[in-house]
Amino acid sequence: MINISNIHKTYITGNNKLHVLKGIDLKVEAGEMISVMGASGSGKSTLLNILGILDNHDHGEYLLSGIKIEHLNERKAAQLRNKYLGFVFQSFNLVSFKNAAENVALPLYYQNVKRKKRNLIAMEYLDRMGLKEWAHHLPNELSGGQKQRVAIARALIGKPKVILADEPTGALDSVTSQEVMDILTDINKNENITMLIVTHELDIARRTQKTIRITDGLITEIVKN
């Protein structure tokens, strides 16, 4: 599903160059659930952003579901993100003026699905997250766990092949974190969606099939859980 080799990324800010990714090789099979760990600043988010086509890499090759990701224009990149990828962020990133259902429906909006139909589908997904009663609430009326479940529903609604989650439980307490992980593992099992989860917490990482450790821009360890 994901196949990267020798990925390099350097940030240039003013006169400073920061070589963050120093040749990452990784192969993720369809349906795998993988966690990424590493010290702060080691380059986990950078890697995930490149995989999410939110950022571009400087060197190396990236194949997403067989498609070579290189020199894409923004339109094509947006379409790939919409079709193949779902994102779950640490800070939820819900659109503040849209209610839960509208937030969930957004990816379908960009696929030109009719409003009525996409709202219906959005309700389905919210129902699966146990949030049906909260469908018409704005994000600022929801708890952190509820917000993250809305975000997961939103990531799922476009039927992506891969879900990229950057510290999805980083802002949640441990009980809620486990609930969110329950949902994610469920999805992984039942829908065979590939998952990459960046986390700092060992008990989160243990719930995935494989844990990748990044140290100083390189993969130093791959552990089966």
Extract the tokens encoding 121: 């589908």
Exactly one of 81, 147, 161, 213 binds other proteins (CB under 8 A); that residue is 81
Sign of CA dihedral 164, 99, 148, 127: negative
Specify the stretch interacting with other proteins by CB under 8 A; choose among 33-41, 73-81, 198-206, 210-218: 73-81
CB of 41 to ligand ATP, least distance (A): 4
| Residue 45 binds Mg ion, judged by CB under 5 A | yes
**Beta-carbon count within 10 A of 163 CB:** 23
| Residue 40 binds ligand ATP, judged by CB under 6 A | yes
| Residue 110 binds ligand ATP, judged by CB under 6 A | no
Question: Binding marks (x or -) toward other proteins, 98..137, rule CB under 8 A?
Answer: x---x---xx-xxx---x----------------------
Nearer to ligand ATP, 62 or 125 (CB): 62
SS3 132: helix
Residue with CB nearest Mg ion? 45
84 Cβ neighbours under 8 A, 6+ residues apart: 64, 65, 160, 161, 162
Per-residue buried b or exposed e for 94-117, using 16+ beta carbons within 10 Å of the residue's own CB:
beeeebbbbbbbbbbeeeebeeee
Nearer to Mg ion, 45 or 199 (CB): 45
Q: Are 125 and 156 in contact (CB under 8 A)?
A: yes
CA distance 181 to 192: 15
Quickly list DSSP for 2-44.
EEEEEEEEEEEETTEEEEEEEEEEEEE-TT-EEEEEE-TTSSH
Specify the stretch interacting with ligand ATP by CB under 6 A; choose among 12-20, 108-116, 133-141, 152-160: 12-20
Q: Are 8 and 57 in contact (CB under 8 A)?
A: yes
Nearer to other proteins, 121 or 185 (CB): 121
| Residue 211 binds Mg ion, judged by CB under 5 A | no
119 Cβ neighbours under 8 A, 6+ residues apart: 101, 102, 105
Exactly one of 44, 57, 149, 154 binds other proteins (CB under 8 A); that residue is 154
| Residue 87 binds other proteins, judged by CB under 8 A | yes
Q: Under the rule (CB under 8 A), what is the footprint of other proteins? A: 49, 52, 54-56, 74-75, 77-79, 81-83, 87, 89, 93-98, 102, 106-107, 109-111, 115, 154, 158
Q: Under the rule (CB under 5 A), what is the footprint of Mg ion? A: 45
